[in-house]
Chains A and B, each alone.
Chain A
Amino acid sequence: MKAFGNHFAFEFRTGLRNKELFLLNYLFPLGFYALMGVMMGQINPGFVETMIPAMVVFAILSATILGLPSPLVEAREGGIFRSFKINGVPALSILSIPTLTAAIHAVIVSVFIALTATPLFKAPAPVNWLAFALLCLLAAFTCAGLGALIGVISANTRITVLWSQLIYLPSMMLSGMMVPTSILPAALRKVGLLLPSTYAIHAFQGLAQGQTAGINPWAAVAILLAGGVLAFGLALYLFSWDSQNATRRGHPALALLALAPYAIGALLF
């Protein structure tokens, strides 16, 4: 337990100490939040209605999908996992602790956004704060699971960026973050349903903001939970200690299974 606590404290500090991680955990999402609050409020007054869910999901994506995978790949490439293995650091800790700390950084930023968006930008505050907090944790867990999975299957950091952007960029455009999904063409709406951020925004709208969600928010919660568990389980299953000694329990293509709950969602909604 002491080892876990020690490891956790170190990883959490790394999220603040490492310039790249600090940028992705705090500066980028908060800077974007400030920019969107100032600009989008004037360009598209309807944006403030969904501002809190959108910016919270953006912060979560930044910390987890963009921030989490590369350090995992770099640690494997740099022999850090080998050193950890020799000294008895379990694979579960290597994956779960950065996942947890990335999620916590994202939740801290989310809470800051939720508390300041109303006084600063007149965005409607959550009507159910408990649901808001639980959904923050769930979305962060799900996205961190995907981030960990990307880190585990990527052969190098260039591939990591590619996979991360494949989730991150469509999320910006198709999940309801910038524009409501209702105005998207049907085909793009379906593509958006393959992304966890779409379900997170619908769940926030329906359960925390007291707004009308485009899809059943409880179904969205179930899909997010299934997606998170599956992604983290697959990350653990496909984890390898060493890039030079590429013995894995399964083919990296198995990672696509993590998208199964979202694919089912796309068929249902």
Chain B
Amino acid sequence: MNDSPVRVEDFLKRYGKFVAVDGISFEAHRGEIFGLLGPNGAGKTSTLETLEGLRSADGGVLRIMGVDPTHEAHKLRDLIGVQLQTSGLPGSMTVREAMEFFCAYHRVAPRPDLLQRLGLSEKVSTQYYALSTGQKRRLALALAIAHNPPVVLLDEPTAGLDVGTRTELHGMMREMKDAGTTILLATHDMAEAEKMADRVAILLRGKVVATGTPRELTATGSGFTKISVRTEGGSLSSADVAFPGVSRQTTQDEYAVYFTTSVGPTLSAILARIESHGVALVDLRVERPSLEERFLEITSAGGAQ
């Protein structure tokens, strides 16, 4: 028996003749942050909304903690916490009222601790319409997790947030994950996905075109590691030298930049050259291909990888 809290098998969603999601499958395990990535129109929102019970599936099997969201939506409410991309609350509802309102429907005590942690304790009497975008998103997150659901679905949770709140929110996500909560994270922010997600699926035109850990995905790309070197007087960047494994080299500001598939030999050769010429090394950076680069690579190739 499959006991993954989130299970999607051959999920199909159509709008008229348009196929928005074309038979995708993935699972999110207990205590895992699973990233759902893709450009606009890839099918992320359709997938999330069907898992949330807001839309019906046209085919396949979807389960949240064993519950079918299409036919048993009423059983979902205590199993999931959802932060919608556009969080809908009445404009005249205050922060405190919102917390009391949703907690009452979940039959749990209100969580002023969450409001404090998310920097909303001074806004408890402020009506929703008067909150800033960031405050609205923080409130939406507080409401989504106030009842301690085993599965949390977050749609662009950090969009519009300042750095401090974003860091706090990432910390909360890690705590929830450590406590065994399964988090499904839909985001456009590749840096966030790379930093937070244990595994990701990249959706393109309704299909899953890549899945795995961020490290696995970046490793399966073109695989170029970027080595940037800055030496005193820019002697290296002005030198026309071929290093082993380097397929392309360029100059950016005062840095000589090398793209290589053989990091070790290239790096050794660069350092040997610097040493042999008695040049002072100012800065050296080795950067693996990012998830964003891999994502762009996959999506620009139309998923044909």
Interface residues of A (CB under 8 A from B): 2-3, 5-7, 10, 13-14, 17-18, 75, 78-89, 241-242, 245, 247
Contact B104 A17 (CB under 8 A): no
A86 engages B104 (CB within 8 Å): no
Determine the distance from Cα of A56 to Cα of B54 in the docked complex, in whole angstroms: 41
Q: Enumerate chain B residues within 8 angstroms of A81, measured Cβ to Cβ.
A: 88
Interface set, chain B 47-95, CB cutoff 8 A to A: 49, 52-56, 73-74, 76-78, 80, 82, 84, 86-93
* Given contacts A3-B104, A88-B77, A88-B105, A83 and B56 within 8 Å (CB-CB): no
CB-defined interface of B91-125 with A at 8 Å, one 1/0 digit per residue?
A: 11100010011101111000000000000000000
| Cross-chain contact A87 with B77 (CB below 8 angstroms) | yes
Could you tell me if B53 and A86 are in contact, using CB atoms closer than 8 angstroms? yes
**Which residues on the B side are within 8 Å of A85 (C-beta)?**
53-54, 73
Q: Is the CB of B93 within 8 A of A86?
A: no
Establish whether residues B101 and A78, one from each chain, have CB atoms under 8 Å apart when the complex forms: no
Partner of A10, one of B86, B88, B97: B97
Among the listed B54, B74, B90, which residue makes an inter-chain contact with A242, where contact means beta carbons less than 8 Å apart?
B54
- Whether A6 touches B90, Cβ cut-off 8 Å, given contacts A89-B105, A241-B54, is no
> Which residues of the other chain, B, contact A245 by a CB distance below 8 angstroms?
49, 54-55
Contact of A83 among B89, B91, B107 (CB under 8 A): B89
Chain B positions within 8 Å of A, measured between CB atoms, are: 49, 52-56, 73-74, 76-78, 80, 82, 84, 86-93, 97, 100-102, 104-107, 127, 143
Determine which of A6, A83, A247 lies in contact with B100 in the assembled complex, contact meaning CB atoms within 8 Å: A6
Q: Given that A87-B102, A88-B106 are known contacts, is A14 also in contact with B92, CB under 8 Å in the complex?
A: yes
In the complex, what's the smallest C-beta–C-beta distance from A54 to chain B, in angstroms?
31
A151 to B64, CA, bound (A): 33
Query: How far does the alpha carbon of A78 sit from the alpha carbon of B100 in the complex, in Å?
Result: 21
Chain A's nearest CB lies how many Å from the CB of B181?
17
Q: Which residue of A lies closest to B74 (CB)?
A: A88
Question: Are B88 and A80 touching (Cβ within 8 A)?
Answer: yes
Contacts of B104 in A (CB 8 A): 2-3, 5-7
Would you list 27 pairs from A and B whose C-beta atoms are within 8 A, ordered by A residue? A6-B101, A7-B101, A10-B90, A13-B92, A14-B90, A14-B93, A17-B92, A18-B91, A75-B88, A79-B84, A79-B87, A80-B90, A83-B87, A83-B88, A83-B89, A84-B88, A85-B53, A85-B73, A86-B52, A86-B53, A86-B76, A86-B82, A88-B78, A89-B105, A241-B54, A242-B54, A245-B54
Given A13-B92, A79-B86, 12 other A-B residues pairs in contact with their CB atoms under 8 A = A6-B100, A6-B101, A10-B93, A18-B92, A81-B88, A85-B73, A86-B52, A86-B77, A87-B102, A88-B78, A245-B49, A245-B55
**Residues on B with beta carbons closer than 8 Å to the beta carbon of A13:** 92
Question: CA–CA, A89 to B105, complex, Å?
Answer: 7
**Chain A residue with minimal CB distance to B93?**
A10
Residues in B neighbouring A3, C-beta threshold 8 A: 101, 104-105, 107
User: Could you say which residues of chain A place their CB within 8 Å of the CB of B89?
Assistant: 80, 83
**Which applies to chain A's interface (DSSP): helix, strand, loop or mixed?**
helix
Interface contact tally, CB-CB below 8 A:
73
A78: chain B residues at CB < 8 Å are: 86, 88
In the complex, the chain A residue whose C-beta lies closest to that of B128 is: A80
Q: A6-B100, A80-B88, A83-B87 are in contact. Are A247 and B105 (CB under 8 A)?
A: no
Within the assembled complex, what's the spacing in Å between the Cα atoms of A14 and B94? Answer: 11
Whole-angstrom distance between the Cβ of B20 and the nearest chain A Cβ: 12
Q: B92 touching A79 by the CB < 8 A rule? A: no
B106 proximity list for chain A (CB < 8 A): 87-88
Chain A residue contacts of B49, Cβ below 8 A:
245
Query: Which one of B55, B86, B100, B105 lies within 8 Å of A87 (CB-CB)?
Result: B105
**Chain B residues, CB < 8 A from A79:** 84, 86-88
User: What residues on B are CB-neighbors of A88 within 8 Å?
Assistant: 74, 77-78, 105-106
Shortest Cβ gap from A239 to chain B (Å): 15
Contact of A82 among B76, B84, B97 (CB under 8 A): B84
**What is the bound-complex CA distance between A247 and B97, given in angstroms?**
30
Instruction: Evaluate contact between B87 and A86: CB separation under 8 angstroms.
Output: no
Chain A residue numbers with a CB within 8 Å of B97 are 10
User: A18–B82 Cα gap in the complex (Å)?
Assistant: 27
Contact A82 B105 (CB under 8 A): no
Chain B residues near A247 (CB-CB < 8 A): 56
CA distance A78 to B104 in the complex (A): 22
A19→B101 CA distance, assembly (Å): 22
Question: How far is it, in angstroms, between the C-alpha of A3 and the C-alpha of B56 when the chains are bound?
Answer: 27
User: B73 to chain A: which residues have CB within 8 Å?
Assistant: 85
Shortest A165–chain B CB gap in Å is 24
How close is B41's CB to chain A, nearest CB, in angstroms?
14
Q: Which residues of B contact A241 (CB under 8 A)?
A: 54
Ranked 8 nearest A-B pairs via Cβ: A79-B88, A88-B77, A80-B88, A3-B104, A83-B88, A6-B104, A3-B105, A86-B82
Q: Are A83 and B53 in contact, with the CB atoms below 8 A? A: no
Most buried by A among B53, B76, B89, B105: B105
